Amino acid sequence: MSKALTVNKTVSLRQLMFDFLYKWGMLLTVVALIAIFGVASDNFLDPFNIINILRSIAIVTVIAIGVSISLTVGGFDLSVGSTASLANALVISMFVWHGFGATEAIVLTLALCTLVGLFNVLLIVVLRIPDMLATLASLFVIQGVAMTYSYGGSITENMVLPSGDMAQGTIPPGFGLLGQVPTIVIIMLAVAVAAQLGLSLTTHGRRMYAIGGNPEAARLSGIRTTRYKVIAYVLSSLLAGLGGILLASRIGSSQVNAGGSYLMDAVAAAWIGFSLAGSGKPNALGTLVGAVILGVLQNGLVMLSVPYYSMDIIKGLVLAGALALTYFQRR
């Protein structure tokens, strides 16, 4: 009898330890990484370096929250990187080619980015193509549109247009402030908080989670699943467009496929976020913490002179560990 009790206590203790790690392992990972890199590098904890990390994760976080929103309805938006590239090209071209002001250019760019979300909805809802395959096709289409629109090159002030004329427009000085600290960090935090509150505290957010959990049961309960899928993909495209605008503000030009490099980090951050506080579902705050983990890893490894071609190995292992915790707990 006592032996059985001992075994039960051991199992319960292991379960408690696993539950603790499942809920708070991500935050512990952040603390551990900061401690390790802080000891290994004299400059890691320098305030200027911390600011650099926050600046570096802002764009990834905004785009990743868009991915998280698509995940809430059981989807998966792979077109966010291309959408960011398109927004990057659109907003700079409106300044340089057409002489728009900052407000007009930003609003028009975001409005055009909603068309990407509607295109994804057409493929997924109307044509019934699986989400991942539909947005993979959309990725190539939007990437091609962005490159065609920019004539396959960069868009900068004083560039030579295909017609042979010189571009006369300039980038407004105030636009550059969007990509600088503290503005870009404030935007990142505002998006994260707004998305988290919207998903966790509103009826619409709970309905989106219900669709992601069991779409047929959600439909039978009276939830308009099509409407919420439209909302999810439009919001995802809008946030990807905002990420592209922030990128344009940060670098002051449009580069070929500039947003493509953000796709995998955004996807990783969104999936890592599943395990925050044991939620087991997409959430904005978890996505923010996932982006912090990736940003700290990237920055710390650079400071330790780890070869750039080895960094993806470590990122992949971190993502695999987070997913293992999430899906093992579900089983």
Residue 211 CA from chain centroid, whole number: 21
User: Residue 223: which pLDDT band, with cuts at 50, 70 and 90?
Assistant: very high
Average pLDDT over residues 216-244: 95
Where does the pLDDT of residue 3 fall: very low under 50, low under 70, confident under 90, or very high at 90 and above? low
Mean pLDDT of the chain: 89
pLDDT at 189 exceeding the cut of 80? yes
- For residue 7, name the pLDDT band (cuts at 50, 70, 90): low
Element (H, E) at 252: none
Task: At 231, list the tokens.
Answer: 């909302």
Tokens 């990972």 locate to 29
The pTM (predicted TM-score) of the whole model is 0.92
Q: Is-contact 247 259, C-beta < 8 A? A: yes
Mean pLDDT of 171-183: 93
Whether the per-residue pLDDT at 66 is higher than 70: the answer is yes
Q: Is the pLDDT of residue 17 over 80?
A: no
Terminal-residue alpha carbon distance, the chain: 29
Angstrom distance (rounded) from CA 254 to CA 84: 11
Domain coordinates in residue numbering, the chain = 39-330
Question: What does the pLDDT average to over 21-27?
Answer: 74
Q: Which whole number is the average pLDDT over 299-314?
A: 86
- Rounded Cα gap, residues 314 and 320, in angstroms: 10
User: If DSSP codes are grouped into helix, strand and coil, which group holds residue 256?
Assistant: coil
Does residue 323 register a pLDDT over 80? no
Specify which residues 254 forms β-bridges with.
155
Which of these, 122, 124, 83, lies nearest to 237 by C-alpha position?
83
Tokens representing 140 are 């190539």
212 touches 55 (CB < 8 A)? no
DSSP-assigned letters across all residues of 61-98? HHHHHHHHHHHHTT-----HHHHHHHHHHHHHHHHHTT
Residue 279: per-residue pLDDT: 64
| Mean pLDDT computed over 117-144 | 96
Q: Which fold has domain 39-330?
A: ABC transporter involved in vitamin B12 uptake, BtuC (1.10.3470)
Token pair of 301 as six digits: 């490894």
- Start-end of H helices in the chain: 2-40, 47-72, 80-96, 102-121, 131-149, 183-201, 203-213, 215-220, 225-251, 263-272, 284-303, 311-330
Residue 4: pLDDT over 90: no
Structure tokens given for 35: 């401690």
**Percent of the chain at pLDDT exceeding 90:** 69
Enter the tokens of residue 178. 């969007």
Q: What is the mean pLDDT of residues 264-282?
A: 82
Which of 18-32, 63-77, 146-160, 169-183 bottoms out in mean pLDDT, i.e. has the lowest? Answer: 18-32
pLDDT at 275 over 80: no
pLDDT for position 331: 55
Dist CA 234 CA 115 (whole Å): 8
Residue 16 has pLDDT above 80, yes or no: no
**Hey, is 160 helix, strand or coil?**
strand
**Of 239 and 273, the one with more pLDDT:** 239
* b (16+ CB within 10 A) / e for 100-135: bebeebbeebbebbeebbebbbebbbeeebebeebb
pLDDT, residue 245, reads 98
